[in-house]
Structures are given as structure tokens and as C-alpha cells.
Amino acid sequence: MKNLVLLFALAAAAGFTPHAIAQGSASVTPVADVTFTLKTAIHEGRMVFVGDAGAIKGEINPDLKVEEGAVVAITLVNGDGAMHDIAVPEFGAQSDQLIGDGAATTIVFRATKGGQFEYWCTIPGHKAAGMSGMLIVGDVEETESTALNVGKDPAEVGEPVGDRAPQHVTFDLLTTEVEGKLSDGSTYRYWTFNNTVPGPMLRVRQGDDVTINLKNDESSVNIHSVDFHAVTGPGGGAAVTQVAPGETKSFSFKALQPGLYVYHCATPMIAHHISNGMYGMILVEPEGGLSEVDREYYVMQGELYTVQKHGSRGLQEFSLEKLLAEQPEHIMFNGSMTALTKDHVMKANVGETVRMYFGVGGPNLVSSLHLIGEIFDKVYDQASLTSPPLTDVQTTLVPSGGATMVEFKVDYPGRYILVDHSLSRAEKGLTGFLDVEGEADPAIFHSEEGIDPNSGH
């Protein structure tokens, strides 16, 4: 075994294809310029890598720092008994799969170029569950990214209408074409309303006279427009708002019917404009307004169709072929992979009631909205605010170009994960977090000591 390990290490040092070296234990270390040992574990409900030796010992998903040109050995030890592996795709390094507590494997490769590169477990679902970290090669300068963070803050819901009379309301929308953050390490050329995806949530009262001023930024290349599903009129406004770069067009409408409505760009090809980020919602509150709640959040689901596969780094390019085939590489809440998991995590306290305004920009997929660990107390199906709400709902369907309003009281602290229950989509970025703080009530939920959480009992 020692000779085999040495052979693999020397082959890697000579520039041959990286190898995975299976071991019975973690005690055998390949010959390399730098070595790391990671152990798999469950930490705060997530699957993670934990540093198991040296300077990274005890660190969760540690940064692994090496010099450019170094031969790197990463040993992975199975610490939880489940199936795992480790890969650094940028350098072609892929380990064997580990099954059983204490099993180990080692990958050996040469870090042939400088930069930051992701390592992760390739078992389906494990990366999304938390098993990923960064390999940092060389002296990587901390440079501020020029990409815009387009991911919409879900707490930006506008001011409630309350019990006021109808009035005239004006909104200014700006269409832009900007390079925005898609994930840590990747960007996309988004088209937006007001530089966020989704665009701003607009809030009016039934009976209001509403004026929309749509300006297309001077830096844009394309014509844009806006179609409001809340509008009774030609194209929902799109017929009179085909706006060239640098121009402004306006229209007015009366908000005839209450509800939560999608708006989007309707310039051909419409699906391309929507997919690139040009969607949002307008809430038409009924007379007297909505009931008071403790928290309100604004979330929309969308799709991106790129030439590069999900997980690729750098600027991602639009793929017309994948759009027409309805095969998105990325599916996300609020514009990016990290919008609701890192950049803007939703929060609540035990005992509070949360209202979520949820819509699907699309342009193609239907959503099966679900909050893991919670039950929706009320669902205003199809965003009808005048129909009696459904009660005690686990998962609700929302069509592309449609919306819903859900309300629920949070009774127990912890992290709750927002998903589309077509759960393969979580692997393409479709997750969000609701973090609940407060006192735990064991009458609602508790775990018994001595029970294996992986046993199913």
C-alpha cells in the first residue's frame, strides 16, 4: 500500500491525471508538498467537512491554502457513517466513495494555477446540505467584485395601505442591464427593474389610480417594457411601454380588483427578458387593507438558462437552446443562489406570525412551495384576497406568472428551509432560510437522548 501511495503521489507531482487513493484508515499520508485531513460530520443540522489535523483542526468547511504548483493531498475520513466523497473539479481530482464510519480516501493533485476553487462532496444533495469549501491557490488578492448584488432583500415589502381612501399613486421603474452576482464565484448579465431581481414590490389600494413611469437606462442595449397582470388594458401596459434606451414612457390604470399580481417585461422574446430577471409583483390591497402581522416577506422564484453548467465559475452566458427546451441550469429565489441563504436571511421570533408574498416569475416552471418544518396556517390560493383562505396546508402550487399569499405562526426556534418541493431544484440553487429565535417548547418538539437521528426512529 505504501508503495502504491508513493507511486500515485509521484505521478501527480509529475503532472499526470490526479488519483483517488482508497485507504482503510487515515493513518497513511501520501507524499506531497502539502497535506490536509478532513472529516465528515453533522453540524447544526448540516452535513459538513471538519478540519481534522493541523492548523485547520476543528474548522467547519475550512479554507485550504496552498502555493501555486504545489502537489496537494487531501485525505477524507468518514466521521458519520453515511456515503461521502470529495472532489476538486478544477484540477480533475475526484475521490472514491466512502461508506462506513472510519473509512478514508485520499486525492493527490497538482495545483497548477492560482485562484480560488471549490471543493465539495458530489453525492447528490450533499453540497446543498453544506458540504463545500474553498481551495485557495497562491496569493489571491482580496479585490472587491464589480458585480452588482441584484438579489432582492425579502424584507422590502413597501408600506401597508391601511384604512385609507383611494388616491392617485405614481411609481418610477428603471430598466437596467447589469452584471450581477449569481453565486459566490459566478456572475450573469441580468436585465432588471430598479437593479434588483425581482423588481420592487409595489403596493396600492383597490380603487387607486396608478401611474407607471418606465425609463430604460441609457446604458441598455435592448428595448424593454412592462406588463402588469393587475392592469385591465392593452398588454397590461406593455403595448404602450416599448421603451428604447434612454427613453421614458408612461401609462395610468385603475386598480379594479384586489390581489397579488405579477408584472414582467413583455418585449419579444418575452421569455428571454423574464428569465434574465425582469419580473416583480404589485399588491392591490382590498378596502380596509390587510390584517396586521409581525413579519412580511417578498419572495419570487425564477430560472436562468446558461451555456455553462450549474456550479461553473465566472460570467455565465445565456443559452437560447436551453430556454426553448425549458431546461434551466439555475433556479433561485430572489435572483441569485445566495439571496435568501447568505445575503438576506429571513428572520422571526417564536410566537410571531409571518406573511409571505410569493410569486413565480418563471418564465416556465410551476412551483410547489413548501417550508420544511412548518405548516401554512392560511394560504390565499392563486393570490385571491377575497376568497376564504385554505387552512393547514403543507405545500401549495403556484403557476408561472402566478402568486400566492401564505401566513403562519412560528412556534419553535430553528432554521426552516424554503423550497420548491420538486426537490431536485434545490441542487440548482433553489433554497432559502427562515431563522427563528426564541425559547424552545419541548411539548411541541424535542429529541430523545440516545436515539440515532439517522435511524429514522
Annotated binding-site residue? 229? yes
**Residue 344 annotated as part of some ligand binding site:** no
pLDDT of residue 327: 97
Q: Please tell me what DSSP assigns to residue 309.
A: P
Secondary structure E strands in 327-388: 330-333, 346-349, 353-362, 367-372, 376-380
CA distance 454 to 435: 23
273 annotated among ligand-binding-site residues: yes
Whether cis (ω within 30° of 0) applies to the bond prior to 124 is: no
The pTM for the full model equals 0.80
Q: Which domains does the chain have, with CATH numbers?
A: 2-137 (2.60.40.420), 150-457 (2.60.40.420)
Name the percent of the chain in helix, strand, coil, to the closest 5: 10, 40, 45
Residue 337 annotated as lining a ligand binding site: no
Which candidate, 384, 353, 382, 385, places its Cα nearest to that of 369?
Answer: 382
Q: Scan for cell 435568501, then name that residue.
A: 340
Cα–Cα distance, 333 to 358 (Å, whole number): 10
In whole angstroms, give the CA distance from residue 282 to residue 63. Answer: 43
Report whether 421 belongs to an annotated binding site.
Answer: yes
Q: What pLDDT is stored for residue 270 in this prediction?
A: 97
pLDDT at 184: 85
121 marked ligand binding residue: no
Helices and strands in the chain, H and E counts: 3, 30
Regions in the chain scoring below 50 on pLDDT? 1-17, 19, 21-30, 142-144, 450-457
CA angle 336, 341, 345 (to 5 degrees): 110
- Helix, strand or coil for residue 219? coil
Sign of the torsion angle spanned by Cα atoms 308, 309, 315, 318? positive
